[in-house]
Structure 1
Amino acid sequence: MFALVPATTAAAAPYCGITWGSQAKSANPTQSGNLVNVRAGRHDCYDRLVFDATGPANGYWVSYVDQMTEDPSGAVIPLRGGAKLSVTVQAPSYDHNYVQTYHYTNRSELVNVTGYQTFRQVAFAGSWEGTTTVGLGVRARLPFRVFTMPNRIIVDVAHLW
């Protein structure tokens, strides 16, 4: 006679403890500085994209999209990678006199992300009506988080699930 033993399943621990998910994330702005820089960094468990502003900036909308488009024209922006994140920050790249505050050399390659584990490309998608949008090409649809620090909006995308 065989005894029935209840099956047990062990849930795998999240990668690096990351529990962010891949759904859209947003925060309504209460302050809005002007965008002055976009930069990236590599970390053990994720790649990071940082938007630097002249003052406090805390509004954003970040989501995966099927196709990245330029704001306001709607022209398609090709991005390398298996997935595309649209990142809109409430920090225009111009001041109240419409003088550009963020200068880039190549709108298709804002930041050199060669060798990054997750990031594939960072492209400028426009600055319009008080916001700036950037297309972030990533390896695959992976978990991400968005948060703010003084004069910064930060997007982290995990290397794995």
Structure 2
Amino acid sequence: MRLRQGLYAVGLALGLLGQGCQKQEPQTVPMDVPAVPPPAKTVPREGPAATAPVVHQVLDVTEDAGRPAPTAQAAPDPGAEAWTTATVEKPRGEPPSITLRSVRTGTHADYDRTVFEFDGPRLPGYQLGYVKTPVQQCGSGDDVKTPGEAALEVRFTLARAHDDQGQATVAQRSLKPALPSLLGLERVCDFEGEVTWVLGTARRVPFRVLELTNPTRLVLDVQH
């Protein structure tokens, strides 16, 4: 009897062991399956590669190499300003005096240009016009000879051509560019808020005045 009970227990144990061996194992991914590459010209989202969808396309700049560049917006035509031989005046009296930093000249196809550049965001008041010769120095009253047949005076107020220590901010008082119309320039005043330059021109011809910013400039063009 004891032998039969022992055999029965052994058989029962073997049966349970057999049922356990028949349990399904979880499926595994074969290691030799190649990874799927992302589409061409794409960048995946940051994160695990298996869950990273494409988020934007990479632009190929060489594809646009043959296309024309966008048309730039046309700059304002300075010729729209009126040419005149009459006096041009724009008064401004707001203190403090604005410092003149440079005076430069150049020539173009139909006119000669003089540029007066100032500190700060605004111009001082100004008056431009042809004057009788000879002109005088504002302090001494001495005559100043200018080349050419005409003298075009440029007067700035409130302005100065020196710094707080009294040093000139434009080193040269006389310029001799010898351009087709503009033959010479002379600074005749830097006193009590007034700065004056006189331009010697070949003859009395029309001029125009332009106000420019960044940096702050007054431009004077004199026709050939």
User: Shorter-chain TM-score: which interval?
Assistant: 0.7 to 0.9
- Residue 187 of structure 2 is aligned to residue 121 of structure 1: no
Does the 8 Å contact 2:82/2:208 carry over to 1? no
| Equivalent position of 1:65 in the other structure | 131
Residue 103 of structure 1 is matched in structure 2 by 171
| Contact 1:89–1:153, Cα closer than 8 Å, also in 2 | no
TM-score in terms of structure 1 length: 0.76
The structure richer in helix per residue is: 2
Contact 2:99 2:119 (C-alpha < 8 Å) held by counterparts: yes
1:122 positional shift: 0.8
Number of equivalences: 139
What is the rounded CA distance, in whole Å, between the counterparts of 1:23 and 1:69 in structure 2? 21
Identify if the C-alpha distance between structure 1 residues 81 and 102 changes in structure 2 by more than 3 Å, giving closer, same or farther.
same
Verify the 8 A CA contact 1:34 1:95 in the aligned structure 2.
Answer: yes
2:149 maps to amino acid: G
Q: Does 1:152 align with 2:217?
A: yes
Q: In 1, are the aligned partners of 2:81 and 2:208 still within 8 Å (CA)?
A: no
1:125 corresponds to which letter in structure 2?
V
Question: Equivalences for 1:1-161 in 2 at 5 Å?
Answer: 19-29=82-92, 32-55=97-120, 56-67=122-133, 68-90=135-157, 91-96=159-164, 98-104=166-172, 107=173, 109-110=174-175, 112-114=176-178, 116-150=179-213, 151-159=216-224
Equivalent position of 2:67 in the other structure:
none
Higher-Rg member (1/2): 2
Identity, in percent, stands at 30
Q: TM-score, normalised by structure 2?
A: 0.56
CA distance in 1, matches of 2:132, 2:161: 25
Cα separation, 1, equivalents of 2:106 and 2:217: 14
Q: Which has the higher contact order (CA 8 A, sep 6+)?
A: 1
Q: Distance in 2 between matches of 1:17 and 1:100?
A: 35
Q: CA deviation at 1:81?
A: 0.2
Distance 1:72 1:19, change over 3 A: same
Give ranges in structure 2 of 5+ residues lacking alignment: 1-78
Q: Distance in 2 between matches of 1:25 and 1:17?
A: 16
